[in-house]
Structure 1
Amino acid sequence: MSLPIAVLISGSGSNLQALINKMEDEILDVDIKMVLSNRADAYGLKRAQAYGIPTAVLSHKDFSSREDFDTEMVRILKEAEVEAVVMAGFMRIITPVFLNAFPGKIINIHPALLPCFTGVDGQGEAAEYGVQIAGCTVHFVDEKMDHGAVIIQAAVPAYPGEDPDDLRARILEQEHRILPQATQWLAQKRLTMNGRFVELEESDIEPAALDNKSLVNPPLEGRF
């Protein structure tokens, strides 16, 4: 049975598209009940509409507090019968009002190897810092920004003096792999939080094909 989810976005929605693609390939056991954005001009809304996925726009500027904004988000998502939430480029910090509505069922993709380079431009900060390894992280969401327990990370090489956009592209390619995988694990109820550690229940699913462009842990499975 598919897990009813909402995807929260603020921009282009390329990670949303990665989720949709895996759904279309029938290898991701979720049903996207709603795509919600805090920005009316988010291109990801058009991506959702192209597949007949319901969308909603809720501007945080229309609310006097984060809690009021989150309360209305919860109302919309509960009305859509959403059970879990995937934050895919949603540029808002959520409050306990939202967390308590979906306990243990909110995940986020961040374009850096947490706990390093939290915030808006993790890729650019990594490039500016001169790291040799960069990457991305899917984690459970808690009250702090980019802080919750890590589910899966992918690492890619970074090269001295390269265009930050080249690094962003390598990281994004891995985001499109690890976010659907983490979402599938959530749908399969194979993730357990033990403090800051996330335990993945073992399965007999074949490992995904390896590539020489990244290091991913836990390893990807099947066609992810």
Structure 2
Amino acid sequence: MKIAIFASGNGSNFQSIAEAINDGQLASEIGFVFCDNSSAFVVERARKLNIPIIVFSPKEFCSKTAYEKEILKHLTENNIQLIVLAGYMRIVGSTLLETFKNRMINIHPSLLPQFPGRYGIKEAFEARVKETGVTIHYVDDGVDTGPIIKQEKVPINDNDTLEMVEAKIHQIEHRLYPEVLDKIISKNKEWLLDGKETSTNQCFR
């Protein structure tokens, strides 16, 4: 399956997916990486791995629709079947959602529906909850509200710092995202291409 990875920042989850493909653990091809931030480190990561990188910002367009239509043009030209969000820090609009319904997934650093949004790790830490985690889910028109595919818990110990919690979550993310992608690609390829409805519970346990 040919995928496109969207990222806005460091790109460590992109790196873990690319390495899983290179190691033969994931039967997929990255058509390109899309980034909305030219100074993001993911741009350098993609170039080092010789993976095509497309970079432009919404500020270059008159509207969000125009911005997403340009992205959609690249997705169509490259025969992309699945969009993988890996730290893409923008809410996806209807132009992409309608075309890639049930064919766009995201990873989030909390046990959704708890702590959605950009600061999920920090908010969980400051709330002094005993555990947080990682959620992989399909993307809908809300903020981290799409149907959940897989979750994994991460304990927060009394002596943990915020940096320690972040490190534990990233370690889980880098393992879990390629694993879930492998299951989607190997077991549900036809389902994805047909755009059938998904359940509102975890797809893989």
**Given that residues 150 and 203 in structure 2 are in contact (C-alpha distance below 8 angstroms), is that contact kept between their aligned partners in structure 1?**
no
CA contact (8 A) 1:105 1:186 kept: no
Match for residue 76 of structure 2 among 74, 78, 97:
78
Give the alignment's Cα RMSD to 1 decimal. 1.5
Match of 2:130 among 129, 132, 146: 132
Segments of structure 2 that go 5 or more residues without pairing to the other structure are 192-196
Question: TM-score, normalised to structure 2's length?
Answer: 0.92
TM-score w.r.t. the length of structure 1 is 0.84
Matched with 2:120 is 122
More strand by share: 1
Counterpart residue type for residue 74 of structure 2: I
Q: Which residue of 1 is the match for residue 194 of structure 2?
A: none
Paired residue total = 199
* Letter paired with 1:180: P
Structure showing the higher helix proportion among its residues: 2
- 8 Å Cα contact 2:148-2:203 kept in structure 1: no
Identity of aligned residues (%): 33
Verify the 8 A CA contact 2:61 2:67 in the aligned structure 1. Answer: yes
State the alpha-carbon separation in 2 of the partners of residues 169 and 198 from structure 1: 25
Question: What stretches of structure 1 of length at least 5 have no aligned partner?
Answer: 201-217, 219-224
Q: Is 1:34 aligned with 2:32?
A: yes
Where do 1:73-222 residues align within 5 Å?
A: 73-160=71-158, 162-190=160-188, 193-200=197-204, 218=205
Q: Which residue of 2 aligns with 1:11?
A: 9
CA deviations on 1:85-124 (whole Å, 9 max, x unpaired) are 0000000001121012222110000011100101111000
Deviations 1:25-62 (A, max 9, x none): 10101100000000001111111111211000020112
In 2, Cα distance between equivalents of 1:96 and 1:182: 25
